[in-house]
């Protein structure tokens, strides 16, 4: 997995059983983070701690939380129109 043409850093948050799918690491511009509890809490915390964040989600409640910390929210279809190397 690489960041392709997305501007790094790209952060992928895994929660629950999905954490077994990838170790926490930073490889080729993609940082994999394991959420200790709810993934939404981790995503909201990351969005609040960084400037110029884009959060990709279809979850309306999460979208409201990250907009409240001035992050930009886009839907999953946004990824389909991003250029790929």
Does residue 5 surpass a pLDDT of 90? no
Across 53-78, average pLDDT: 96
The pLDDT assigned to 2 comes to 53
Contacts of 12 (CB under 8 A, 6+ apart): 1, 22, 30, 31, 32, 33
Mean pLDDT, to the nearest integer, of 22-45? 95
- Strand pairing class (72-74; 54-56): parallel
| pLDDT tens per residue, range 67-83 | 999 999 999 999 888 87
Reference 66, options 82, 85, 83, 50; nearest CA is 50
HSE-CB for 48 with a 13 A CA cutoff: 13
User: What pLDDT, on a 0 to 100 scale, did the predictor assign at position 8?
Assistant: 76
Mean pLDDT of all residues in 8-18: 92
Question: Which structure tokens are listed for 51?
Answer: 């400037």
In the three-class reduction of DSSP (H, G, I as helix; E, B as strand; rest coil), residue 11 is classed as: strand
Partners of 13 in beta bridges: 33
């Amino acid at each position: 997995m690489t960041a392709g043409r997305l501007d790094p850093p790209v952060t992928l948050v895994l929660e629950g059983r999905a954490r077994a799918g990838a170790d926490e690491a930073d490889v080729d511009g993609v940082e994999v983070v394991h959420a200790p509890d709810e993934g939404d809490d981790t995503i909201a915390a990351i969005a609040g701690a960084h400037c110029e964040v884009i959060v990709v989600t279809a979850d309306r409640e999460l979208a409201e939380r990250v907009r409240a910390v001035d992050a930009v929210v886009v839907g999953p279809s946004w990824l389909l129109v991003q250029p790929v190397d």
